[in-house]
Each structure stands twice: as C-alpha cells, then as structure tokens.
Amino acid sequence: MGRLIAIIAPIAILVVVGGFGVGTVIAMKPVPEKSDEPRPGLNVFAEQVRTGDLTVTVDAQGEVRPKREIVVAPQIAGRVTYVSPDFIDGGFIKRGQVLVRVEPADYELTVVRAKSVVASAEQGLAREVAEAELAQQDLDNLGLTDVSPLARREPQLAEARAALEAAKAQLAEAELSLARTAVVAPFDGRVRERSVDIGQFVSPGQSLGNIFATDVVEVALPLKDADLGLLGLPIAFAASDKAPGPKVVFSAVVGGKPRTWTGEVVRTGAAINSQTRQINVFAELKDPYGAGADDGAPMAPGLFVTASIEGEVVKDVLIAPRAALRGQNSLYLGDTKEGKLSIRPVEVVYTNQDGAYFRGGAEPGELAIVSPIQAAFDGMSITVLERMPDGTVKTHGEAKKKPADTEAVADASTKDGTEGGAQ
C-alpha cells in the first residue's frame, strides 16, 4: 500500500503543477485587439455624371448618284459629221453645247421643198380669196341673197386656207428635223461614257453616250423606323423652306485622304422595303464639283460614303460614360461616403461611343463606375478612384479610424512617452 502511494503521489503532484501552469499561461495571454476598420473594397475607376444637351446622330451608308443622268440619243437618222472634243469620258460639258452633229444636207433639202409647198399654198389661197370676192360682187349685182355657201365659194376658200396651214406645218417639221441634226447638252455636267464617233450612221433613239448633271448629287440612305424616330422624320417627309431637312455630313477616303462634305436630307422614300423593313432617306449635296467639294475633292458619283445625320436636340439630359451603363438600363454608381456600389435603373435616351444619355436614377456630380466588375451586387464594398483633369488619381472612401481608436492610440503614445521619460 505504501509503495502504491509512493508511485501515485509524484504523478498527482506533476498533474496539479502542470494544470496550474497552463491555467496561468492562458490567463496571462494578451487579448487581441479588434480592428474597427472596414475591409478594403475592390478598386474601381469612375467618372462624374454631368448634364448637357444631346444632338442625336444616326449613321448610314450609301452610294453617291447624280440627281439627273440621261442617255444621249438623236431624234433623227443620219451620218455623224461632228463630235465635240469635250464629249469624251470624264469631259465637262455646258448647257446648250453641241455634242454631236448629224449630216444636215438631206434635211436642208426637205426644208427647201417645204418652203416651195408653202409658197404654192399661199398663191392658191390668194386666188381663192379673189374669186370669192368676185362671186360676192356678182350676187350683189343680181340682187340674190338667199344662195348656197358654194355660190359664195366659202368651201373653196376654207380648203385653200387649210392647205396653207398644212404646208406651214410641213415646213415647221422640216425645220425641226434640221435643228435636230445637232444634239445639244440639256444641262451643265460631265460625260460618263461615249459610244459614237465621226462617220458612224445613227438611228433615232440610238445611244451615243451617258451624261449627268453636276449641280446636285444624292445618296439613298436606308434607315430603320427607330432611326427615323430619333431624327424626328415622318415617312412622307419632303423638305421645304419652312421645314428644312436635317444636316448630313458625308465622309469617305479619296486619294488616300479622309474627306468630308456637308449636305441635307430632302425627302424620304415612298415605301418601306418589304425585305429589309427599311426606308430610304435621300440626302443631297449641291455643287459637288465646285463650292460643295472638300479642298477640291468632289463627292463624285459612284463613291461609297458614310453619312452622319443630325437629329433633334434633347435638352438637359444626364450624361455618363458608355461603360458605366450595364445591360439596357442599369447604371453602376459609387457611394463615396459608404464605399459601396449602387446599382440604379435609368431611362436611357440614347447611347453612342461618346457616352450614355439618360434621365433619372442619378444626380450630376455622382461618380459612374467604368471599371468592369464581376458578380456585382448592390451594396458591394468598393474603393472609388477618380482620375482628375491634371492626370492625378483621387481616392474616395478611404478607411478612417474611429475617434475612440484615435484617442486610445494617443493615450497609449502619451503613456509610453511618460514611462520612457521616467526611466
């Protein structure tokens, strides 16, 4: 028994002493301080929401075409005796200029014959007038009043007058055919192509070439119904002095350089395309080879251009970067006081590469977030960074210590300093 106690007693003493030591160590372990600072949020860049006026623009593309283009063709037959040196591919022509002349000899002879017929008809009419006067004198001498028109030679006189009118008509026709031996330009323009030369026999209606007017060119721009609504254009639109069409800026690369020309919308198409469900809007540029040219570069027919059509001006809308708009109508904003993400619905008016234009959901001066955020949710912790005009970056919503923590730190520093001084 005494031996068993001798074995157990040391073990019990060791357990008691060890337990007391562990308890003492645990009791003396310092309590970790709890930090009241918020966890730092995701760093995101943002730009301020501002107000302004919106000028809606709609972009479209189309091919430049002359407003007037015709096929040059003679109205008579004959052999070509003259072709204007300006009547060549790319040549400039003037209104009234003779382009092609057909041999006139046959038509000159026809005019001579027609004049002879007119002279004979005039002689016949004079003879009938004289005979009608003699017949009337004879009737008066005989005292006859109730006689037939034939006795007064009225039908013969009417026939002579009709013969003279027919002869004059034949002369006018012959002179008209003679005048048509010269094919003249009906407007100022340019020659697209020529298909005739001297010595060639031509027939009425045969193509001699193509010319187009250079006073106006037009571009057909296909637009959707929604685009027409943005521009404020009805389907049956026609420009007038009281209701001018929207301004259009055409652009293309000509000669390796970007060029621009300014025109206007003059009308809309008569019907909607059944296949594309679009309607053509026609824009014109005046004097494309003169005052309308860009530093001498004309907006020539056949050129493919991009057109930017200016629509109505919307006053006082909110403007944010395009990247701040998420989905169709959600805007990401940064709450700089709380350091939180705020997702708000907005009424989108228009968007383009320059920004998103909307109403409601935000106030001017708030920060719209442009950085991409994955798995975003309302109230998400963020740190908003704003790039200032001078290039520096301003951090909003940085974590700040509470006043109590600041005082505690100050007290501790004072105590340490005092103790250090005592030592």
pLDDT of residue 97: 96
How far apart CA 272 and CA 268 sit, in angstroms, is 10
Give the H or E element holding residue 132: helix 105-142
Task: Fold for 70-103+188-213, please state it.
Answer: OB fold (Dihydrolipoamide Acetyltransferase, E2P) (2.40.50)
pLDDT of residue 312: 80
pLDDT of residue 231: 86
Q: Of 243, 226, 227, give the one whose Cα is nearest residue 307.
A: 227
pLDDT of residue 390: 84
pLDDT of residue 77: 95
Answer yes or no: CATH 3.30.750.24 is held by domain 43-52+316-396.
no
DSSP 287: -
pLDDT of residue 23: 64
Q: Which residues of the chain fall short of a pLDDT of 70?
A: 1-40, 397-423
Q: How, if at all, do strands 42-48 and 382-387 pair?
A: parallel
Give the H or E element holding residue 359: strand 355-359
For residue 165, report the phi and psi dihedrals to the nearest 5 degrees: -65, -40
pLDDT of residue 37: 54
How far apart CA 20 and CA 14 sit, in angstroms, is 10
Which residues, including other chains, have CB under 8 Å from residue 371's CB and lie 6 or more apart?
43, 44, 45, 46
Cβ(177)–Cβ(249) under 8 Å? no
Cβ(272)–Cβ(280) under 8 Å? no
How far apart CA 28 and CA 92 sit, in angstroms, is 106
pLDDT of residue 9: 63
CA 288 to each of CA 67, 113, 210, 213, 256: distance values in angstroms, whole numbers, following the listed order: 12, 49, 19, 10, 19
pLDDT of residue 7: 67
Answer yes or no: CATH 2.130.10 is held by domain 214-315.
no
Cβ(201)–Cβ(269) under 8 Å? no
Q: Of 181, 192, 182, 179, give the one whose Cα is nearest residue 70.
A: 192
pLDDT of residue 12: 66
